[in-house]
Amino acid sequence: MTREDLHAACDRIFDSQSPTLTIEFQGGDPLLRFDLVREAIERIQIKNRHEGRLLRFVVASTLHQLDDAMCAYFREHGVVLSTSVDGPASLHNRNRPLPGRDAYERTLAGIERARRWMGHDAVSALMTTTKASLAHPEAIVDEYVRLGFAEIFLRPLSSYGFAKRNQALLGYRPAQFETFYRRAFERVLHWNRQGVPLREVYASIILNKILSPFDSGYVDLQSPTGAGQSVLVYNYDGYVYPSDEARMLAESGDISLRLGPIGTPLAELQQSAVQQALIEASQVERVDDCRTCAFQSYCAPNPVDAQAQFGRLDTPALETEHCQRHQWLFDFFFDAVRQADEDRLDLFHAWARPTSSPEQETLCDA
């Protein structure tokens, strides 16, 4: 990203009227350009002296480049870290190959360093389910417990970028993810019964929809979509995208979801033809399949996913992987709630409470 674009992105963030702004730096790996990350944080903090918003900074990174000076800076500026841990070393290193086959060891060293300098909760982790993960749901959950994380997000593989190009190597059928999820979820419950408070984030999102009157604002299930409205991505190519998935689509050659060049006022981006088309294609009451769906009060179609899977925002919802997965998840959790005893129901209600959402107000890709 050029310095000019970086400054314009930092300034435009304040076009949002939200009293709370989350700014997440993603890469590549943002720590490779720590100088730019620091410049952005300081510019935003200076501007915020007049704005008075509540700011939350997140750096998403492998943590391989993390050093003591960075940790000290992040601690001073209240920055938290997000990394990827796919499971035990053998699985993580297989999913994320490096010449030294030490991606796991280097990430773990980063987690330990971050915790030492910034406190135990300053770093969270995400996992991605690949074909290689399917046989190891219990080991993956156990790894999160061993590393002392309070949350695990059992995420399926996305249909974007690298993952889409490598479907044969990494991909699987939806039914295989369902079996994996059931087993991993059982393992999470097992640990909770042992007094280890591990929260599964996907369960929390669905239970929040079912059990809580306060929506946690999960972008992918909002109607109309939160993409472009509660999230914006300022990319290094000089353009603004409505979500990270839309940005990944552009990386693979489909630039149809660009909202406009960085520096465009927010009001103009939101009036853009692309944003209007996203809103149109994500309203449950206007989309044929969703209009008659039993889950329409909790769910919404995801036009960015539809564009990635079929090249059309208005693909019939029932054909999309997003719809099929969420139909299954809502069925699964309605059953789980119906069968829950009092203790399990207490746990589900605790998970259903909105927490600081992983879906960000504003993303800034350094």
Binding-site ranges for ligand SF4 (CB under 6 A): 284, 289-290, 293, 295-296, 299, 301, 317-318, 323, 326-327
Of 359 and 365, which CB lies nearer to ligand SF4 in the complex structure? 359
Residue 296 in 3-state DSSP?
coil
The phi and psi torsions of 260 (rounded to 5 degrees) equal 160, 175
Residue 144 burial (C-beta neighbours within 10 Å; 0-12, 13-18, 19+): buried
Of 82 and 309, which CB lies nearer to ligand SF4 in the complex structure? 309
DSSP state of 231: B
Taking the C-alpha atoms of residue 59 and residue 158, their distance in angstroms, rounded to an integer, is 21
Nearest distance in Å: CB 324, ligand SF4: 8
Nearest distance in Å: CB 227, ligand SF4: 14
Taking the C-alpha atoms of residue 31 and residue 46, their distance in angstroms, rounded to an integer, is 22
The residue to which tokens 């879906």 are assigned: 359
Q: Which residues lie across from 79 on neighbouring strands?
A: 57
Of 153 and 295, which CB lies nearer to ligand SF4 in the complex structure? 295
The residue to which tokens 């915790």 are assigned: 115
Q: ∠ at Cα 164 (161, 168), nearest 5°? A: 145
Q: ∠ at Cα 106 (104, 107), nearest 5°? A: 65
Please, are residues 180 and 156 in contact by the beta-carbon 8 Å criterion?
Answer: no
Of 186 and 319, which CB lies nearer to ligand SF4 in the complex structure? 319
Of 84 and 283, which CB lies nearer to ligand SF4 in the complex structure? 283
- 143 vs 77, 140, 188, 342, CA distance in Å? 30, 5, 11, 28
Nearest distance in Å: CB 163, ligand SF4: 21
Q: ∠ at Cα 95 (94, 97), nearest 5°? A: 65
Of 323 and 366, which CB lies nearer to ligand SF4 in the complex structure? 323
Nearest distance in Å: CB 223, ligand SF4: 8
Of 176 and 296, which CB lies nearer to ligand SF4 in the complex structure? 296
Nearest distance in Å: CB 224, ligand SF4: 13
Q: Report how many helices (DSSP H) and strands (DSSP E) the chain contains, helices first.
A: 17, 11
Q: Which residues lie across from 127 on neighbouring strands?
A: 154
Of 125 and 290, which CB lies nearer to ligand SF4 in the complex structure? 290
